[in-house]
Structure 1
Amino acid sequence: MTGRRALVVRGGWEGHHPVEATDMFLPFLEGEGFEVRVEDSNEIYADRAVMDATDLVLQSVTMSEISRDALNGLRSAVERGTGLAGWHGGIADSYRGSSDYLQLIGGQFATHPSTHPDACRGEESDNFLPHTIEITELGRSHDITAGLADFPLTTEQYWVLSDDLNDVLATTTHPVQPYHPWHRPTTSPAVWTRAWGRGRVFVATPGHSLDVLADPNVRTIIERGLLWASRTA
């Protein structure tokens, strides 16, 4: 399939390197036949003509805010068939003040637990924990994750609040530690898809830094996820 259009919307908190991170995937999209447009403001979502002509939105906007018109434009476009995809805080920690956005995405970053307090040095690496991304039964046969095995990462391990409209393709489990207040292991979705009207939503929580995005497993999941989410009709 050729002649598709992708809209890359990036900005927000610079700690997730929205420009450099999305730049990693522009050649892939172009190689797959997408005409790519890049915007640094989510107000583009309010442009009905642009959104109707867009087959895939790749969003990388951590935190930040979104206007009512832009949010309505995004939700309506996905409902009409535009795909929405992203990773880490660029999609799962965007627009914290908007419950309607959170409903569209299906999962919200809550925290990323840190290492032992005595080992913390006040750096972002305090939150880099070794953990495993575990492919679910559904994930073993899904187009995005088929053929992949469970794999380890040492990076932020997202604790996500979510609902059961998601089709969860991979999970990660937060263990019990004596320095954390929870009393049993808790499992969070790490990769999921979501149907919204005629549109598709894809979210992967790994992707804090460029080296994580370059991990072969993570990159494969994201590239497949971008293609899967793109408009189907």
Structure 2
Amino acid sequence: MKQALIFWGGWEGHTPERSAAVVSQMLAANDFTVTVEAGTSVLASADLARFDLIVPMVTMSTIEKPELSALTAAVAAGTGLAGFHGTMGDSFRNETEYQFMVGGQWVSHPGNIIDYRVNITRPDDPIVAGIGDFAYRSEQYYMHVDPAIEVLATTTFNGDHLDFIDGAVMPVFWKKRYGKGRVFYSALGHTADEFAVPEMRTVFERGALWAAR
């Protein structure tokens, strides 16, 4: 069986513990043995090379240098990384190497919880195949992103909340490489409740399985 590690913590508004439980059950249903740990200390104390997939679930927190070094080294060596929303896209604001590995960093969500549309840009990719464009209600993430990411879906901002970003097109789902490791990110998933949305859940599950070694 494949091995997965989920580590959770940080801001409670993103329901990290509940989200960790949802993702743990999802991976277990796909024949993973899942280890779930609170905090980041597991990154320095465990042998990360034995994990096929790591799922961060931490928002607006800090990480010790040895922990970050162990995480980036594991992914660079081939361990997969997958995550969503602020629990991977806004984990450690001071750590640029982490952001480089992820492929982006959250910076704003104008209007907070709003209705917007997700547009699939790579319908030929197995992660989003058969999904099609869909309406969504959540925070619409405005992010600073790596130009080297492979974008699978986007969203377009209007001027309702900030007129100077009217028409800005922003990635929602992407995948990339970091060394030998595969990385998948979804900007959806403000709370664990959003896993009830079929498109959000399906794409994240497929993305996580793609990322796994």
Q: How high is the TM-score relative to the length of structure 2?
A: 0.96
Unaligned runs of 5+ in 1: 115-126
Give 1:118's aligned residue. none
Deviation at 1:211, TM superposition (A): 2.7
Alignment of 1:1-233 (within 5 A): 3-47=1-45, 50-114=47-111, 127-136=112-121, 139-177=122-160, 180-182=162-164, 184-231=166-213
Structure 2 CA distance for aligned equivalents of residues 44 and 210 of structure 1: 23
Structure 2 CA distance for aligned equivalents of residues 149 and 129 of structure 1: 20
Q: CA RMSD in A?
A: 1.2
Q: Is the 8 A contact 2:81 2:184 kept in 1?
A: yes
> Residues 183, 212 of structure 1: CA spacing in aligned structure 2 closer, same or farther, 3 A cutoff?
closer
Q: Percent identity?
A: 39
> Residues 187, 34 of structure 1: CA spacing in aligned structure 2 closer, same or farther, 3 A cutoff?
same
Q: Deviations over 1:66-111 (max 9, x none)?
A: 1111111111100100001111000001100111111111111010
Q: Is the 8 A contact 2:59 2:91 kept in 1?
A: yes
Deviation at 1:131, TM superposition (A): 0.4
> Residues 42, 185 of structure 1: CA spacing in aligned structure 2 closer, same or farther, 3 A cutoff?
same
Structure 1 CA distance for aligned equivalents of residues 41 and 184 of structure 2: 21
Deviation at 1:167, TM superposition (A): 0.5
Q: Is the 8 A contact 1:176 1:182 kept in 2?
A: yes
Matched residue SS, 2:159: coil
Structure 2 CA distance for aligned equivalents of residues 21 and 173 of structure 1: 27
> Residues 183, 5 of structure 1: CA spacing in aligned structure 2 closer, same or farther, 3 A cutoff?
closer
Q: How high is the TM-score relative to the length of structure 1?
A: 0.88
Q: Deviations over 1:181-215 (max 9, x none)?
A: 51541111100011011101111001002332210
Divergent runs of 4+, >4 A: none
* Pairs aligned (count): 213
Q: Is the 8 A contact 1:161 1:188 kept in 2?
A: no
Structure 2 CA distance for aligned equivalents of residues 183 and 64 of structure 1: 28
Structure 2 CA distance for aligned equivalents of residues 101 and 183 of structure 1: 26
Partner letter of residue 74 of structure 1? L
In terms of Rg, which structure is larger?
1
Structure 2 CA distance for aligned equivalents of residues 133 and 72 of structure 1: 34
Structure 2 CA distance for aligned equivalents of residues 183 and 161 of structure 1: 13
Q: Deviations over 1:158-198 (max 9, x none)?
A: 00110211000011111123x52515411111000110111
Structure 1 CA distance for aligned equivalents of residues 12 and 166 of structure 2: 34
